[in-house]
């Protein structure tokens, strides 16, 4: 993989208001992601910055250097409703650059001081670094961590998510979080037609989630926005050419056919019932938020808010 470069930007606002989702507020310290997941819905957002959804998304990583200060200001405003904030809904807040930039940790420190509830979606094992802050906050308010695990198959993982930690290591960290009282869940997001959409594949991820202490599970169908579709179809042509005709026929819009999506929903419910994962009463944050979280470009200095 090509080496990533990190670009410092500033934001006017740390927290974004979100409509039409199970939560009202989101926070995203980064744009772009070296995890390089082939299917990532957020790839399209790089085009709003004049960059492409392919290598640019994986190698041009923007970080909001002042986001913790902006967050502190917003949480202390009289108008702040003290509602839960979903972290990492656009790109992973714990991607490798966080290891030295520590922007997400700075935000968690602010949230811990304010005793504000949060949820986090991640593929990264780096979140274990912040176990001290997360467990401290969980003693006061609701803290939920959802790991995105698309497959347990080693070959599929390497092809679909080349920059991510192995799924087995994610599960180990999930277990560590669960053991200190943090509510955890697994999102099988997305389910990939022709690769991870069998009952065996979905059950295997759900079983692993339950065995490692997760309390919720949800399998969510693949969506391919136009620029993401271009990237993903190129990936299929190179790695899974036998699947290319099905996608070309069935993904004329950004969604797979209704009957396939209904099947995935049914398999997800069955897996929850079978393994005691109560996803129907605790709705996790959907990671598919690209349209709602598209950045507004204020000036040529790339001020995002």
pLDDT band of 19, cuts 50, 70, 90? confident
How is the beta sheet containing 30-31 ordered, strand by strand?
5-9, 60-64, 30-31
- Higher pLDDT among residues 84 and 252, named by residue: 84
Share of the chain above pLDDT 90, in %: 85
Q: Are 29 and 107 in contact (CB under 8 A)?
A: yes
Q: How confident is the model at residue 1 (pLDDT cuts 50, 70, 90)?
A: low
Q: How far is CA 37 from CA 4, 73, 92, 147, 157, in A?
A: 15, 34, 11, 14, 9
pLDDT confidence band for 130 (50 / 70 / 90): very high
290 vs 78, residue with greater confidence: 78
Range of lowest pLDDT (67-71, 169-173, 277-281): 277-281
Q: Domain coordinates of the chain in residue numbers? A: 5-275
What value does the mean pLDDT take over residues 136-149?
Answer: 97
Per DSSP, which regions of 224-272 are E strands? none
Q: Is the pLDDT of residue 281 over 60?
A: no
Helix (H/G/I), strand (E/B), else coil: 255: strand
- The stretch 290-296 carries a mean pLDDT of 38
pLDDT of 287 above 80: no
Question: What is residue 22's predicted lDDT score, i.e. its pLDDT?
Answer: 79
**pLDDT tens string 74-114:** 999 999 999 999 999 989 999 999 999 999 999 999 999 99
Q: What is the Cα–Cα distance from 68 to 108, expressed in whole angstroms?
A: 8
Topology (CATH level 3) of domain 5-275: pyruvate-formate lyase- activating enzyme (3.80.30)
Q: How far apart are CA 108 and CA 127, in angstroms?
A: 11
The two three-digit tokens of residue 248, written as one number:
């070309």
Percent of the chain with pLDDT over 70: 91
Nearest to 297 by CA among 104, 49, 80: 49
When pLDDT is cut at 50, 70 and 90, the band that residue 21 belongs to is: confident
Q: What is the mean pLDDT of residues 133-140?
A: 96
SS3 letters for 113-168?
A: HHCCCEEEEECCHHHHHHHHHHHHHHCCCCEEEEEECCCCCHHHHHHHCCCCCCHH
- The answer to whether 86 and 72 have CB atoms below 8 angstroms apart is no
- The predicted-structure confidence for 185-204, as pLDDT tens digits, reads as follows 999 999 999 999 999 999 99
Mean pLDDT of 265-294: 69
Question: For position 3, what pLDDT does the model report?
Answer: 87
| Separation of first and last alpha carbons in the chain | 29
Task: Please state, in angstroms and rounded to a whole number, the distance separating the CA atoms of residues 130 and 74.
Answer: 22
Identify the burial level of 90 via C-beta atoms within 10 angstroms of its C-beta, where 0-12 means exposed, 13-18 middle and 19 or more buried.
buried
Rounded-to-integer distance, Cα 219 and Cα 209, Å: 12
Distance CA 240, CA 86 (A): 34
With 0-12 / 13-18 / 19 or more C-beta atoms within 10 angstroms meaning exposed / middle / buried, residue 155 is exposed
pLDDT attached to residue 279? 55
Helix axes 131-138, 167-179, angle to 10 degrees: 40
CA distance 303 to 207: 43
CA angle in degrees (0–180, nearest 5) for 284-168-61? 65
**CB-based contact 150:182 (threshold 8 Å):** no
- pLDDT-derived band at 208 (thresholds 50, 70, 90) equals very high
Q: Is the pLDDT of residue 183 over 90?
A: yes
The predicted pLDDT at position 253 comes to: 84
Residue 299 pLDDT exceeds 50: no
């Amino acid at each position: 993989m090509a080496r990533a470069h990190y670009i410092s930007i500033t934001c006017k606002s740390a927290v974004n208001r979100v409509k039409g989702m199970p939560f009202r507020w989101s926070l995203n310290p980064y744009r772009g992601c070296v995890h390089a997941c082939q299917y990532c819905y957020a790839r399209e957002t790089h085009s709003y910055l004049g960059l492409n959804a392919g290598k640019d998304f994986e190698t041009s990583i923007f970080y909001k250097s002042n986001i913790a200060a902006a967050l502190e200001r917003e949480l202390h405003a009289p108008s702040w409703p003290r509602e839960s904030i979903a972290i990492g809904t656009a790109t992973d807040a714990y991607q490798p650059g966080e290891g030295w930039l520590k922007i997400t940790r700075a935000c968690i420190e602010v949230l811990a001081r304010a005793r504000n509830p949060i949820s986090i979606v991640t593929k990264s094992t780096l979140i274990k670094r912040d176990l001290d802050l997360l467990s401290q906050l969980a003693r006061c308010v609701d803290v939920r961590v959802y790991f995105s695990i698309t497959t347990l198959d080693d070959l599929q993982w390497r092809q679909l998510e080349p920059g991510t930690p192995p799924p087995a290591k994610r599960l180990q960290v999930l277990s560590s979080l669960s053991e200190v009282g943090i509510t955890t869940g697994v999102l099988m997001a997305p389910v990939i037609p022709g690769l991870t959409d069998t009952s065996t594949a979905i059950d295997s991820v759900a079983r692993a989630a339950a065995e490692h202490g997760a309390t919720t599970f949800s399998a969510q169908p693949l969506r391919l926005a136009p620029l993401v579709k271009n990237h993903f179809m190129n990936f299929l042509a190179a790695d899974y050419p036998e699947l290319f005709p099905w996608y070309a026929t069935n993904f004329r819009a950004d969604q797979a056919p209704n009957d396939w999506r209904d099947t995935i929903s049914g398999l997800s419910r069955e897996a929850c019932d079978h393994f005691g994962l109560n996803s129907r009463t605790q709705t996790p944050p959907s990671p598919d938020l690209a349209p709602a979280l598209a950045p507004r470009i204020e000036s040529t200095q790339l001020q995002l808010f």
